[in-house]
Amino acid sequence: MRDRFGSKTAILTLIALTLAVFLYVTTEALPIGLLPLIATDLGTSASAVGLLVTGYGLIIVVVSLPLTRLTRRLPRRRLLCVLLAVFVVATLVSAVAWDYWLLMGARMVTALSQALFWAVVTPAAAGLFRAEVRGRALSILYAGASTAALAGIPAGTWLGQLTDWRVAFLALSGLGLLVLVTVAAVLPNTPPGQGAADRGSAPDRGRYLSIVATTATAITGAFTAFTYISPFLTGVTGFAESSIGPLLLARGIAGLAGVVAVGCLIDRHGWLTMTGLIGLQALALAGQYAFGSSQVATIIMISLSGFTLAGLTAALGSRVLVYAPGESVMASAGTSTAFNTGITAGALFGSVLLPGPGVHSTALVGALLSSVAFAIALAEPLFSSRRNAAPATTAEPLTEDTRVT
């Protein structure tokens, strides 16, 4: 029986893919919470354990586009199953690693699978649903990333502290196996290039490149401030160390609310939604800088920036499927590269600011970069390659495929 959103099989598949997103994001950042335990157990330094996260992100930046190009002709179900199998095995190896370099190698293999996963999962999930509800479906998919920050990483950290850091990775591997079995059983075996979302519904190279530039700039601004949020909260605002966890929890809840809000708006008001989120991010980071000494104002501002960052992540996937100038999987790989480049560049900019202007300046630079991204987003319709493009304030075009899945 089909309903307004999608078939039961499509919804079950979406849930499985959302859990896969949750697992990948949790696995990527989990060493941060378990850093002292891993360093002590493997006899290495805290900075070396930190490289397990930094190197992971760099792998995603470097290999996303080449790997996607090499594998774009493979059937989607088979490819996703291979990627999830790699995740299961590599995370299991992480759990049993007896030295630092084996753990690093297992992490890098996991990162290789994640780089390709980001490119494939968005069109795979979107293709399960008719065009007018794809934005809502993708907001559910990307809620997996927000939930990982809100619950997955804290839960994994707690489990590792309660038992052993290896148990946390073992649990992630076991959940990955469950997702692998589900995806293998229920994901349609659609031939490459024949899925409902394998091409942009309104291909436009100019607008797509504008979205890529906006993404890289906005995410760089966000992570220039967010990477160093803990020292900002303690050194500028005056919060105690014990308050950092609850404050980040509040930010995570706000992020989940951002994903929900985007799901309600993105299908009909894509450009306005994305542009508004970037404008709000610029205001939030400017407010964080201006009112950083006020605890109440800072809580409001970091929650608002959490709302906008998570919302942007959800909006991005949907808009790429509208304007992808070629294959959706390649377009998704491009924006994934831009997103992860922003994360890496933001962390780098912040590290340069710390010894000079100080941690307070990270919010100001983040706000300035977000303002540049806002200007690029505002000008996006001017970059359109479509001579008769509709005004950007109207609803984004939908695909002609209006079949109910």
- Domains, the chain, in order of start with CATH, read 8-186 (1.20.1250.20), 205-383 (1.20.1250.20)
Q: What's the pTM value of the predicted model, to 2 decimals?
A: 0.83
Q: d(Cα 222, Cα 347) in Å, to the nearest integer?
A: 10
Task: Place 399 in a pLDDT band, splitting at 50, 70 and 90.
Answer: very low
- The conformation of residue 402, written as its DSSP 8-state character, comes to -
Q: Which carries the bigger pLDDT value, residue 112 or residue 74?
A: 112
**C-alpha distances in angstroms, 50 versus 34, 61, 164?**
10, 17, 18
Q: d(Cα 133, Cα 138) in Å, to the nearest integer?
A: 9
Please tell me whether residue 137 adopts helix, strand or coil conformation. helix
* Position 398 pLDDT exceeds 50: no
CA angle 317, 344, 295 (to 5 degrees): 90
pLDDT in tens, 348-386: 888 888 888 998 999 999 999 999 999 999 999 998 877
CA angle 32, 120, 182 (to 5 degrees): 80
* Position 209 pLDDT exceeds 60: yes
Task: Place 402 in a pLDDT band, splitting at 50, 70 and 90.
Answer: very low
Least confidently predicted of 46-55, 57-66, 144-153, 170-179: 46-55
What is residue 393's predicted lDDT score, i.e. its pLDDT?
41
Q: d(Cα 279, Cα 89) in Å, to the nearest integer?
A: 42
Least confidently predicted of 105-114, 295-304, 349-358: 349-358
> Span 13-27, mean pLDDT?
94
- The conformation of residue 130, written as its DSSP 8-state character, comes to -
* Position 394 pLDDT exceeds 80: no
Kind and range of the H or E element at 362? helix 360-378
Residue appearing with tokens 């849930």 = 15
* Position 192 pLDDT exceeds 70: no
> Span 14-37, mean pLDDT?
89
Q: Which carries the bigger pLDDT value, residue 264 or residue 371?
A: 371
* Position 320 pLDDT exceeds 60: yes
DSSP string, 184-224: HHHS--PPTT-STTSB-SS--HHHHHHHHHHHHHHHHHHHH
What is residue 193's predicted lDDT score, i.e. its pLDDT?
61
Q: Which carries the bigger pLDDT value, residue 387 or residue 85?
A: 85
Task: Place 295 in a pLDDT band, splitting at 50, 70 and 90.
Answer: very high
- The conformation of residue 225, written as its DSSP 8-state character, comes to H
pLDDT in tens, 32-61: 778 788 888 999 887 787 778 778 888 888
Phi, psi of 126 (to 5 degrees): -65, -35
> Span 378-405, mean pLDDT?
57
Phi, psi of 130 (to 5 degrees): -70, 160
Q: d(Cα 214, Cα 310) in Å, to the nearest integer?
A: 15
Q: Which carries the bigger pLDDT value, residue 88 or residue 325?
A: 88
What is residue 5's predicted lDDT score, i.e. its pLDDT?
57
- Name the nearest CA neighbour of 307 among 373, 374, 259: 259
Task: Place 194 in a pLDDT band, splitting at 50, 70 and 90.
Answer: low
For the chain, the average pLDDT equals 86
Residues 211-239 as b/e (b if ≥16 CB within 10 A, e otherwise) read bbbbbbbbbbbbbbbbbbbebbbeebbeb
Task: Place 198 in a pLDDT band, splitting at 50, 70 and 90.
Answer: low
CA angle 241, 244, 245 (to 5 degrees): 120
